[in-house]
Amino acid sequence: MPRWVIFLLDLTICVIALLVAYFIRFDSTDLPFDQEFDIFKKGLPIYLLIRGASFFLFRSYKGIIRHTSAEDIKKIALSVTFGTIVIVIISFIKHEWWDSHYLFPSSIIMVEFFVCTFFLLVFRFIVKLMYTEDLKKEKDLVPTIIYGSGIYGVITKHTIEKEANLAGRVICFVDDNKKKAAKTLEGIKIIHSSQLDDFIKKSNAKKLIVAIKNPDKSKKRAVIDICLANDVEVLNVPSPTKWINGEFTLNQIKKVHIEDLLGRDSIELAPDRLANEYNYKTILVTGAAGSIGSEIVRQLTAYTPEKIIILDQAESPLYELEMELKEKGLLEMTESVIADIRNVERLRNVFKTLQPDLVFHAAAYKHVPLMENNPSEAIITNVLGSKNLVDLALEYEVEKFVLISTDKAVNPTNVMGCSKRIAEIYAQSANQLNKTKFITTRFGNVLGSNGSVIPLFKKQIANGGPVTVTDKRITRFFMTIPEACQLVLEAESMGNGGEIFVFDMGESVCIYDLAKKMIKLSGLELGKDIEIKITGLRPGEKLYEELLTNEENTQETHHPQILIARVRNYDFNEVSEKINELTQLFDSQNNIQIVKLMKDIVPEYVSNNSIYEKLDNQ
């Protein structure tokens, strides 16, 4: 409807309100209403002029009535109030300096103010209600459930009603609070999350929107699992930080990601305590352009370090990290270094020139099948590269050195895991020299890291499949990248040297089930739209990952989810000699000899599904 029509309707409502005020004021036949009609007739043009000017000034007629919001109500209240104040002033001036008559009796003006405000608001709400009810009658609207009956749930409902193109009709709110169950919200019933499964089956609901700012992840995961089991599409309301002018639109509501099913409630650490560790320190981060290294850099920028040295051999990813830091105004606190950790002289120059106080060593080769076929590269990077950094940390008296390891180093079954275990052993033995405090952290797979299974599955699903899983029984631990890096920073702060910190990673995830859920979350049907192909275990691949060896146990720390592994001690000189012998085999490129010596250094290394299994029988 054109805005000028709304303007005229508002003025008509004002006239009706003024008449109602007169009828309320002169509600008895013995009162001289006829005598007042002349005053009414003379004052009406001025009244309309004032009301029209106030509507124009506050643009109260500009809002789309069927989408009336709090802002529209505010404009109406301000325009009516302003108009009434002007009417009172004009009435007083007319009485005192014009013709000794008020524009309208004061009682009329007062009653008109309330009646006019009420009528204007009721008019808008009636139109909005009629529009909403008309939408609900449409047969093709998808029955939709909103998870969350708080403010975000209400805003989501209003957004659905405002934007008809969603083709959704809210039939229920779901909440984890039992006190809200059986109540209604804006005429829609609220059920407890424990009733969701039965409700979906009875109502034939097809869509659920998660509209909670900070949901409990375990409860959210349970709700999503119920929806997936009942072929209900699950969507997420965006974070309030991404809303535009305090509101979001329906095209911002996105599908739930698999990370929402794997992520747990984040570890809460003490950033104020960590500030004492990182403020005014020069910190070297190797592998700074990788998934873990770059997140460590991001988290370190929250403090006030003297300098963060971001070192990596990958030019383009390092440049991208530089640009990200520049956009945030953080580039000044960093020093970018292109270097290969296998080049000891290049590293020596970095230590000599920049004098790091702390080192976070995240650079490594990590892909199991590739390292299984290239053992020489695994030892020259993961072992010799780590040794170079450990030796230089000792030489230049670095305060603390954190080696970022992996669960694949525990009872290794592949070259990559064994190479990381050898790096652990060397760093642990170097701690005996009492110069630098060497600390190791172990954790499982991180969600969304480069080359991890989830990005692979997403790509395969986008390409129409098949989704490849090596074995139906295979399981893995998962954690988020920020959570993993919090662990690393916390481990550095609590470490006294020689510890291997492990993390309570919760329950392991079946990769086959993970693939099925990702297919469902993509809106596809397994066996109809896409297939899962079992390819068989890759060389060196484990069915189940571990965080501790059989010979290790743990001791508690101040944080219930962070433990210290008790491991056996190694002699630094003996380990150093073995590693030197191992790295000397690089030139020979004799994979059998390399792996044989690796097994000698790490006796628990037993190959699995690999050509090196024959070495275990000798």
pLDDT digits (tens, 9 = 90+) for 121-146: 888 888 877 776 665 555 567 888 88
> Is the pLDDT assigned to residue 390 strictly greater than 90?
yes
Here the tokens at position 573 are 């000189």
Bridge partner residues of 174 (DSSP): 147, 191
**DSSP designation for 263:** -
Nearest to 598 by CA among 588, 587, 611, 585: 585
Which of 138-152, 399-413, 448-462 has maximum average pLDDT? 399-413
Could you give the CA distance from residue 599 to residue 462 in angstroms, rounded to a whole number?
41
Could you give the CA distance from residue 456 to residue 458 in angstroms, rounded to a whole number?
5
> Is the pLDDT assigned to residue 208 strictly greater than 70?
yes
Altogether, the residues listed in the chain come to a count of 618
For residues 339 and 380, the answer to whether their CB atoms sit within 8 Å is no
pLDDT digits (tens, 9 = 90+) for 339-383: 999 999 999 999 999 999 999 999 999 888 899 999 999 999 999
Could you give the CA distance from residue 207 to residue 144 in angstroms, rounded to a whole number?
5
Could you give the CA distance from residue 184 to residue 207 in angstroms, rounded to a whole number?
20
For residues 499 and 437, the answer to whether their CB atoms sit within 8 Å is no
- The topology under which CATH files domain 271-444+479-505+546-616 is Rossmann fold (3.40.50)
* Structure confidence at residue 216 (pLDDT): 78
- 104-108 contact pairs (CB < 8 A, 24+): 104/18, 104/39, 104/40, 104/43, 104/47, 105/25, 105/36, 105/39, 107/25, 108/18, 108/21, 108/22, 108/25
**DSSP designation for 487:** H
Judged by average pLDDT, the poorest of 496-510, 528-542, 544-558 is: 544-558
pLDDT band (50, 70, 90) for residue 67:
low
Could you give the CA distance from residue 390 to residue 402 in angstroms, rounded to a whole number?
10
User: pTM to 2 decimals?
Assistant: 0.69
Give the per-residue SS3 of 542-594.
Answer: CCCCCCCCCCCEEEECCCCCEEEEECCCCCHHHHHHHHHHHHHCCCCCCHHHH
**DSSP designation for 29:** T
Q: Which residues contact 135 (CB under 8 A, 6 or more apart)?
A: 141, 161, 164, 169
Residue of higher predicted confidence among 423 and 155: 423
Could you give the CA distance from residue 484 to residue 550 in angstroms, rounded to a whole number?
24
**DSSP designation for 326:** H
Could you give the CA distance from residue 147 to residue 219 in angstroms, rounded to a whole number?
11
Could you give the CA distance from residue 330 to residue 327 in angstroms, rounded to a whole number?
8
Could you give the CA distance from residue 171 to residue 530 in angstroms, rounded to a whole number?
32
* Structure confidence at residue 133 (pLDDT): 65
* % of the chain exceeding 90 in pLDDT: 26
* Structure confidence at residue 92 (pLDDT): 82
Characterize the bridge pairing of strands 282-286 and 254-255: unpaired
Could you give the CA distance from residue 127 to residue 139 in angstroms, rounded to a whole number?
21
* Structure confidence at residue 550 (pLDDT): 52
For residues 72 and 63, the answer to whether their CB atoms sit within 8 Å is yes
Could you give the CA distance from residue 410 to residue 353 in angstroms, rounded to a whole number?
36
Across 252-280, average pLDDT: 71
312 SS3 class: strand
Nearest to 64 by CA among 163, 188, 153: 163
> Is the pLDDT assigned to residue 557 strictly greater than 80?
no
CATH of 138-256, one of 1.20.120.140, 3.40.50.720, 3.30.70.100, 3.40.50.2000: 3.40.50.720
pLDDT band (50, 70, 90) for residue 462:
confident
* Structure confidence at residue 456 (pLDDT): 84
- DSSP H or E stretch at residue 343: none
Q: Give the residue carrying structure tokens 């992520």.
A: 263
185 SS3 class: strand
pLDDT digits (tens, 9 = 90+) for 515-524: 888 888 777 7
Q: Which of 408, 437, 520, 578 is catalytic?
A: 408
pLDDT digits (tens, 9 = 90+) for 574-593: 999 999 999 888 888 889 99
Across 169-186, average pLDDT: 86
For residues 360 and 298, the answer to whether their CB atoms sit within 8 Å is no
Annotation marks residue 202 as catalytic: no
Q: Give the residue carrying structure tokens 């500009």.
A: 62
What is the widest separation between alpha-carbon atoms in the chain?
A: 120
Share the mean pLDDT of the chain.
82
Could you give the CA distance from residue 361 to residue 531 in angstroms, rounded to a whole number?
40
Domain boundaries for CATH 3.40.50.720 within the chain: 138-256, 271-444+479-505+546-616
**DSSP designation for 370:** H
* Structure confidence at residue 71 (pLDDT): 76
